[in-house]
Structure 1
Amino acid sequence: ALYALSGLLKLNTAAVQQMGVVGGRSALRMCLEGTYPPTNPSTLYDDDTHVRVNRLGNARPQKNNTPPILPLPSQPPTKHDPPTSETAPHTIHSNSHASMLSDPSTVSTSALMLTVIQEEGEDGKGGSLLNALISALIKPVSFGVDGEMDKDDGFQENVVKILCTFATSCNGAFSAVQKCSLWGFLGGIREMQLEGEKLNFGLTSGGIERCEVIV
């Protein structure tokens, strides 16, 4: 789901803006923190029998006794008919290549994301996405079918790259509390490297050193 979301938001200013309108940032933050509310059981089970039901309709096929609907005879076009697809104006979607050509500013998401990642939740509750990313990095949420796996190394690698991009390419600034948390995490990386573990989260040694200097 996160990869699909990333593909949608990439080079798409309109999608980044709409994500805030519909409460998407808060939902993403809760997912990163592992605090997203579980599905309401009443939507999955019948209240009386506790048997799983299909809310979209009975899965058992029903005999259809209604007569078939016959197609209407075709009518010749008149001057009042709406324009056909050949004559109607072409719709330019916000995530299409056509929108990039017609308005190059629609692909510039860096400044907007720099603001979005540091803002508090849309509802005024909860922290920022930046806090959630740091929290997911230093206190990874268990995952797997039964939550049997402590952390996802690939996910942590992507978070490290995001934070490095935030600090180095976007000139983002961390708060004192955030710096303290990151220092502890980076210090742990150094200790594991000294013990012989090849842990670099996809960064070169120079990249890790730059992160340490910035933090």
Structure 2
Amino acid sequence: MWEPLHALLTSRPNSVKAHTVWVIGTALQNNPAAQDAYLKLEPLPTLTSFLSPSSVMYALSGLLKHNAPALVQLNSDGWSRLCQALQDPNIAVCRKTAFLLNSLLTPNETTLSSSSLSSDNLHTPDSQQNQGPIHPNSHAAHLFQPGHALTSVLTLEAMTKHKILGTLIDGLTNPLPYGKDGDKEEVDPDFEEKGVALLRTYAIVCNGTLDQDQKDHLWEWIGKEKMKDSGGLAERWSMSGGKLDELVQRVKS
């Protein structure tokens, strides 16, 4: 099923592509067996070659979430395209990219030793860590390969290696115009909320590094936003006051 579906992504017209990525994304969502089957076709270069329209992000999200082997296949070009997607003229692409990156960066509840999280120890769909049946449409792949769903470490590394963090901070502190004609200059509240959530996951949850220049830019920006919305900044960013204070202190330190 996957080969003919994937072949449609290079066909015309564009309406066929749009319907295809939606079907692929739906089939992949929360389905490790489908993820592994599709990943064998090495589809990431094709998917990341056109991240706009935003429907492609749906398929990419379905393939990457809880799927460390897929992140291993996401080469420098793929990460760079995700970075660029944070500044896409289509604001929906920016929102979905920030949300996807936050999902990939958020640590899984399963705790493994740091050695077991390295890319060398992640098993591809063709390898097996333990013997046992893996049934289609099940999460058995996660049971037999505990590292299969752990995407946080790989994403944390990519945040700095591929300049995603810097692009995110620029997008929050100095947002680019967006829209079909690049004529919308007002801040998009949905992207801002998702971007701040990604920043908090990086800086607080994952204890990611911020250089002094990044801290200074964020400190200045948060200060300005507090002056505009002193009583409702935490609510605006959909976080508790305590979580906002945590982020502020991290930037201030």
TM-score interval, smaller chain = 0.5 to 0.7
How far apart are residue 113 of structure 1 and its match?
1.2
**Which amino acid is 2:159 matched to?**
I
Question: Which residue is equivalent to 1:19?
Answer: 74
- Structure 2 gap segments, 5+ residues each: 1-53, 90-132
Aligned CA distance change for structure 1 residues 180 and 109 (closer, same or farther; 3 Å): same
Matches within 5 A, 1:76-155: 97-120=139-162, 128-150=163-185, 151-155=187-191
The structure with more radius of gyration: 1
Normalized per residue, which structure has more helix?
Answer: 2
After superposition, the Cα gap between the structure-2 partners of 1:7 and 1:214, relative to the gap in structure 1 and judged at 3 Å, is farther
Identical-pair percentage: 34
Deviation at residue 152 of structure 1 after TM alignment = 1.9
Task: Say whether the 8 Å CA contact 2:234–2:244 is kept in structure 1.
Answer: no
State the secondary structure of the residue aligned to 1:173.
coil
> Could you tell me whether the CA contact under 8 Å between 1:33 and 1:135 is conserved in 2?
no
1:212 counterpart residue number: 248
The structural deviation recorded for 1:4 is: 4.2
Which of 188, 198, 216 is the matching residue for 1:162? Answer: 198
Aligned-pair Cα RMSD in Å: 3.0
- Provide the TM-score with structure 2 as the length reference: 0.53
- 1:32 equivalent in alignment to 2:86: yes
Structure 1 residue 27 displacement after superposition: 1.2
How big is each residue's C-alpha offset from its partner over 1:93-150, in whole Å with a ceiling of 9 and x where there is no partner?
9x97232122111101111111111113xxxxxxx11111111111222222322322
Relative to structure 1, the CA distance from residue 3 to residue 161 in structure 2 (aligned partners, 3 Å threshold; closer, same or farther) is farther
CA distance in 1, matches of 2:216, 2:64: 30
Quick check: 1:172 aligned with 2:172? no
- Write the letter of the residue equivalent to 1:136: G
Larger relative contact order (Cα-Cα within 8 Å, sequence gap ≥ 6): 1
Unaligned runs of 5+ in 1: 36-89, 121-127
Aligned residues between the structures: 154
- SS of the equivalent of 2:86 reads helix
